[in-house]
A = this chain, B = another copy of it.
Amino acid sequence: MTNEGLSINLATVRQQWNLGEAVEACARHGIKAIDPWRDQVAAFGLAESAKVIKDNGMRVTGYCRGGMFPAADKAGRQAAIDDNRRALDEAAAIGAECIVLVVGGLPDGFRDIVAAREMVAEGLADILPHARAVKVPLAIEPLHPMYAGDRACVNTLGQALDLCDALGPDVGVAIDVYHVWWDPDVARQVARAGRARRIFAYHICDWLVPTRDMLLDRGMMGDGVIDLKAWARMIDDAGYHGFHEVEIFSGENWWKKPGDEVLETCLERFRATL
C-alpha cells in the first residue's frame, strides 16, 4: 500500500498543529501533499510557510481559500476583489497548484440569490487576469446547498462548470464529495468536468447520519453514507489522477484526537477507498 496520492487539507488538523508542525507531521507519515488555509499561513508567516513546505518537498494541492464575492455595496465587492488578489499572491508564494474558491452567500439583508450569483460571476471575471498573471488557477468549489445562504451560492457541480465555461481557461472546480454526493446529476457533471479538464482538486471525507452540526461534523471516510469507492472510480474514469485531499472539520471528534492518530486514520481510510 502507498501513501502516494493523499493530500491533507490542513483544516483537518488545525486544532492539533500549526502549519510547520503539520507539514513536518505529514512528511513523517510519508504524505506528499497538503492544502493549507490562509489563517494558518498568516499565523506561521508567509515566508516561513513557503520554506517549510519547500524543505519538506510538499506539493500544495490547493490554497484555502478565496471567494466571498457578494457584498451589499460596490465598496464591499471591491474589497473582496482586492482580498482575492492578495490570496492569489500568497498562493503563488507557497507554490499552490490552485486556489480554492468558496464564492460567498447572500450579503446581509439580501434575499436575491440570483443577484448574488451575478456578483460571483463578476468577481471571478475580475480576479481571473491576476490568477493568470501569478499562474494560480481558480478552483470553484460548489458548496452543499445548506450553505447557500451564508457561505456559497454556487451549489452544484453543473452550476460551477457553467461558470467555468463562461470564463475560459485557468478556471476549474474543486470537487468535494461532502458537498455534491447527493446530486442526482453528479455523475454526468463529473464526466463533463473531466472531459473539459476542469477538475483541479478532489476532496474527500464522509457524510454522517445523523449530522449533528452543519459546519463541524464531517465524518472520516468510511464512517458515513458516501460511496467513496464508487467516487474514486468515477473520478478516475473522468481522467483525474491527481491527489485525493482529505478535508474534515470535526469539532467534537477528530479535532480532539492526537494529530498522528488522525493522519494514520486518514491514510488507512484513504487506501480503503481505492
Residues of chain B lying within 8 A (CB to CB) of residue A111: 225-227, 230
Proximity bits, A211-251, B CB within 8 Å = 1, else 0: 10010000000001111001000000000000000000000
B146 and A113 within 8 A (CB):
no
CB of B149 within 8 A of CB of A146, answer no
Given A183-B145, A210-B150: A225 touches B155 (CB 8 Å cut-off): no
Instruction: Tell yes or no: A112 within 8 A of B by CB.
Output: yes
Interface pair A182/B155, CB less than 8 Å apart: yes
Chain A interface SS verdict (over half): loop
Contacts of A210 in B (CB 8 A): 150, 214
Bits for A15-49, please: 1 = Cβ < 8 Å to B, else 0: 00000000000000000000000000000000000
Q: How far is the CA of A156 from the CA of B105 in the complex (A)?
A: 20
- CB of A159 closer than 8 Å to a CB of B: yes
- Is A117 located at the chain interface by the 8 A CB criterion? yes
CA distance A105 to B111 in the complex (A): 30
Q: Which one of B106, B145, B224 contacts A145 once the chains associate, using CB atoms below 8 Å? A: B145
Residue of B nearest to A227 (CB): B111
Nearest B residue to A213 via CB reads B214
Q: Any chain B CB within 8 A of the CB of A196?
A: no
Q: How far is the CB of A69 from chain B (nearest CB, A)?
A: 16
* A75 at the B interface (CB under 8 A): no
Q: Which residue of B lies closest to A160 (CB)?
A: B184
What does the 1/0 interface line of A79-109 toward B look like (CB < 8 Å)?
0000000000000000000000000011000
Chain B residues with Cβ under 8 A from A145's Cβ?
A: 144-146, 182-183
Q: Is the CB of B159 within 8 A of A184?
A: yes
Assess whether A110 is in contact with B184, with CB atoms less than 8 Å apart.
no
- Complex Cα distance A185/B185, Å? 12
Question: Chain B contacts of A209 at CB under 8 A?
Answer: 105-106, 149-150
List, sorted by A's number, 25 A–B pairs whose CB atoms are closer than 8 Å: A105-B209, A111-B227, A112-B227, A112-B230, A113-B227, A144-B145, A144-B146, A145-B145, A145-B146, A145-B182, A145-B183, A146-B211, A146-B214, A148-B181, A148-B182, A148-B207, A149-B211, A150-B209, A150-B210, A153-B182, A155-B182, A156-B183, A156-B184, A156-B185, A211-B214
Query: Which residues in A have some Cβ–Cβ distance to B below 8 Å?
Result: 105-106, 110-113, 117, 144-146, 148-150, 153-156, 159, 181-185, 207, 209-211, 214, 224-227, 230
